[in-house]
Structure 1
Amino acid sequence: MVKIDSLYREDQFYFSVGYNLFSQAPDGLKQDKFSAGISAGFLRDMPINKNRTVAVAAGLGLSYKNYFHNLTISKNNDGELIYGVNDYNEFVSNKYRQYSVDLPIEFRWRNSTYESHKFWRIYAGLKFSYVLASKSVVDDGDNTYIVRNNPDINRFQYGATISAGYNTWNAYFYYGLNPLFKNVSDVSGQDIKMRTMSVGLIFYIL
C-alpha cells in the first residue's frame, strides 16, 4: 500500500535551456548560428487528487531569448523602421534578443510519492510572457542599426508548453500562439506573422 502524505507537493524551482526557432516565417527567412534561450522561476504545486499525482501549478519566472536570422530591421532617413529578408552576403551580422517576465500555468501528472523524488512526469500548459526589453542589431558593413524596445513587437506573448521526462531531466517544447510582431510587412510586401518556438531541456529542482 502506498503511503500518502496529505501535505506532499511538488513545489519546484525550474531552469530551462533551449534552441529558439520561428514558425510561419516569411519566404526566405533563415536562421544561422545557435539561437539560445534560458528561463528560470518557481512553480506552486496544487494537487487535485487523493494520491497527489495529478495537480495544477502556477508560477513566476524570467526568460532570455536570442535569435540569429536574416530578417533585418533598419531605419530610413525619417527614422521609420524598415523590415527586409536579406541574403546573408548583404550584411555582416544580425540578431534579436528579448527579456521577459513569465507566468507559467501547468496541468501535471506524475507517478511520484512523498518518499521519492525520482519519477516520471508529463506537464502541459500555457506560458504568458510580458517583454520587459528587446533589442535588435544589424551591421550591414557600412552602418549599424540598433533598435531598442521595438514598438512593433508584441509585448504580451503567450504559448503552449509541454515537458516530459524522468527525475531531473525533462524534454521541453514551447509554441507561441500569437505572432512576435504586430501588423508588419517587409519591403517586398510580405506580412511578417511569424511565431516563436523553443525546444530544449527543463530541470525541476525541489
Structure 2
Amino acid sequence: MKKIVLFLVASFLLGGALYAQVDTSVAAAVVAANPPKPKKKKYDLSKRANDHFLLQLGYTNWASLPDSIKTGNLPRSINAYFMLDFPFKSNQKLSAAIGLGIGSDHMTLDKNLNFANVKATGTRLPFNDTARFDVKKTKLSTAYLEAPVELRFVSDPEHSDRSFKVALGVKLGTMIKAATRSRVLQSGGDYVLKESSKRYFNTTRVVGTARIGVGHFTLFGTYQFTKLLKDGAGPEIKPYTIGLSFGGL
C-alpha cells in the first residue's frame, strides 16, 4: 500500500514539474513571438520655442514676365506672422501651425518704359504709360493680410531653438493695398509721385511655402499659385520668393 501511495505522489510531483516546464516554454515562445512594444518618448513641451513669431526677408521675382517689362534694383518681400503651434499626440516631432500676419512685395520697375499706371481707367494695367510723366523708376508695392498654415517637423521637440526643422504649407491672403511710388523728372526738379489702386489686381492670393533650417534661422521659398493681376488686366504674372526666416518665441 505504501508503495502505491509513494508511486502516486511521485507521479503527481513529476507531472506537475513537467507541466510547469511546458507552460513556461509556451509562455516564453508567446513572448518571443509578440515582444512588448517600446514606449514612445514623452517630451516636455511646456517651455519650448517653436517659431510662434516669424519674420521673413526675401528676394522676389515674377514668373512669366514679358520682355517688355524690365525690373531693377533689388525686389524684395517682407513678411511678419504670429502663429500657434499644435503638436501631434501620436508623434510630438510633428505639429500643425496656423497664424495671421502681413505679407508685402516690393518690385522696382526700371527706366522710363516701365511706369505702371495703377490709376488708369482702361481694362489693362499699362506698364509702358509714359505719356503723363518722364519717369526715372517706379516701385510697385503690394500688401496682404495673410493666414499661413504649416505642417512642421522638428528633430528635437524640447529644444527646437537649436535643432533641425522642416515646414511645408500654404498662405491664404487678401490684398490690403497696391501702390506705386515713382521718381518723376521735370525741368524744375525731380519729385515723388505716389498712387494707389487695387483696380487691376487679384485681391485674393494663394501661395505655397517651404522652410528648412536649424534653430531660429531657416531658408524659405514661396510660389504664388494665383495670378498677380486679374484675368485680362495684364500679363499672367506669378511672384515667387527665396529668402531667410527668423523664428522666435
Q: TM-score, normalised by structure 1?
A: 0.82
Q: TM-score, normalised by structure 2?
A: 0.69
Q: Which amino acid aligns with 2:210?
A: I
Sort the Cα spacing of 1:11 and 1:32 in 2 relative to 1 into closer, same or farther, 3 A: closer
Partner Cα distance (2:225, 2:158) in 1: 35
Sort the Cα spacing of 1:146 and 1:45 in 2 relative to 1 into closer, same or farther, 3 A: same
Helix, strand or coil: the match of 2:212? Answer: strand
The CA deviation string for residues 6-32 of structure 1, in whole angstroms up to 9 with x for no partner, is 657636111111111100112332321
The match for 1:198 is 241
Conserved in 1, the CA contact under 8 Å of 2:69 and 2:127?
A: no
Helix, strand or coil: the match of 2:115? Answer: strand
Helix, strand or coil: the match of 1:73? Answer: coil
Sort the Cα spacing of 1:170 and 1:150 in 2 relative to 1 into closer, same or farther, 3 A: same
Higher RCO, 1 vs 2 (CA within 8 Å, ≥6 residues apart):
1
Helix, strand or coil: the match of 1:74? Answer: coil
The structure whose residues are more often strand, as a share, is 1
Partner Cα distance (1:73, 1:11) in 2: 37
Sort the Cα spacing of 1:74 and 1:80 in 2 relative to 1 into closer, same or farther, 3 A: same
Helix, strand or coil: the match of 1:27? Answer: coil
Runs of 4+ more than 6 Å apart: none
Gaps of 5+ in 2: 1-39
Partner Cα distance (1:12, 1:107) in 2: 13
Sort the Cα spacing of 1:86 and 1:97 in 2 relative to 1 into closer, same or farther, 3 A: same
Gaps of 5+ in 1: 186-190
Q: Percent identity?
A: 19
Count of residue pairs brought into register by the alignment? 197
Partner Cα distance (1:22, 1:75) in 2: 18
Q: Which amino acid aligns with 1:180?
A: L
| Residues 1:4 and 2:43 are matched in the alignment | yes
The match for 2:117 is 74
Sort the Cα spacing of 1:137 and 1:165 in 2 relative to 1 into closer, same or farther, 3 A: same
Partner Cα distance (2:183, 2:118) in 1: 12
Conserved in 1, the CA contact under 8 Å of 2:102 and 2:146?
A: yes
